[in-house]
Structure 1
């Protein structure tokens, strides 16, 4: 009985790992208006995906402290099919949250967002 329970637990664990969304993982952002970038950890949050800033880097690529570390940069993000995702993305350099369109292609992620008809190209993020 103990062996059966462990086997079932392992199968359930592997099934969950196999079902991970391709967007999940660590992403290095493009440089912002100040030349800064960050590492975003994307993981499930409820029925959507969210991305939290876990490290910040200055224009020279050196790790720096930031009040935004720990903040959700990506939120309410849901797959639309064909590598496209829609949700929200927060831009620390402009202190704005945009309606986002993310396009996943292999290990790159094109990030774009709009708010009140004003759109911004968030550049290309790379998987780490």
Structure 2
């Protein structure tokens, strides 16, 4: 019986990981802090896990194509929110936030931990 339970638990656990989106996980930000990206209500939420602003939610993104995401990103230093885009390439995540319809943008490159 224990063996069946262990096998069933292993299958359930592997099925859970099989459905994870590539953007989900822990990321090293440009400032050196750790940000966690996880599924939340049909989107992906970004929460800082370390650094000066640990615990602060700084973004919400939805899938907009293969390895492409769109949503909002918040600068944790001033709490201003911008329209944002992200693209994933292997273990690198390029994030950008823009104002004035995309005329002024700032980009950052994060790496997967």
Cα RMSD for the two superposed structures: 2.0
Matches within 5 A, 1:79-94: 79-94=63-78
Aligned twin of 1:100: 84
The equivalent of 2:107 in structure 1 is 122
Confirm or deny: 8 A CA contact 1:112 1:119 kept in the other structure: no
Alpha-carbon displacement from aligned partner over 1:4-30 (angstroms, at most 9, x marks no partner): 565444323211111111111111112
Deviation at 1:88, TM superposition (A): 1.2
Q: Distance in 2 between matches of 1:70 and 1:114?
A: 23
Tell me the residue number matched to 1:109. Answer: 93
In the alignment, structure 2 segments of 5+ residues that lack a partner are none
Aligned positions, number? 112
Gaps of 5+ in 1: 32-36, 57-65
- Compute the TM-score of the two structures, normalised by the length of structure 2: 0.83
Which 4+ stretches in 1 moved above 3 angstroms?
A: 1-10
